[in-house]
Amino acid sequence: MTASVAIQSLPVAENSDELVRIVDEVIDYIKSTGLHYYVGPFETTIEGDDYDQLMDIVKECQHVAIRAGAPKVSAYIKVVYEPEGEILTIDKKVTKHHQA
């Protein structure tokens, strides 16, 4: 893997149930990309070899939240990119900390 992106989508919503529903739609979109991802309690991390594809996914996450009914959405994004090397993957970072 050459790139990893963590996205925390923060849609405006009327209540917590609506917030969860909108965020779930964003996560469903991320799942539909076919890339390796990890859903955490505050953000979802996606990794791949095409930096531009990852940036397009980040952009589309905002559109998904708006189409799902959020009047406004903010996001926190973290990016690791090493075009000529290998990044630490999701699995290398977190698998050892989770029970099988």
Residue 97 lies in a domain: no
**CATH code of the domain containing 80:** 3.30.70.930
The pLDDT of residue 84 is 93
DSSP state of 76: E
Contact (Cβ atoms closer than 8 angstroms) between residue 19 and residue 13: yes
Residue 99 lies in a domain: no
| Distance from C-alpha of 83 to C-alpha of 94, rounded to nearest angstrom | 22
Residue 96 lies in a domain: no
Residue 68 lies in a domain: yes
The pLDDT of residue 99 is 73
| Distance from C-alpha of 2 to C-alpha of 87, rounded to nearest angstrom | 6
The pLDDT of residue 100 is 63
| Domain with 36 in it | 3-91
Average pLDDT value for the chain: 96
Residue 57 lies in a domain: yes
The pLDDT of residue 41 is 94
Residue 100 lies in a domain: no
CA distances from 88 to 12, 18, 32, 66, 81 (A): 33, 34, 23, 32, 10
Number of structural domains found in the chain: 1
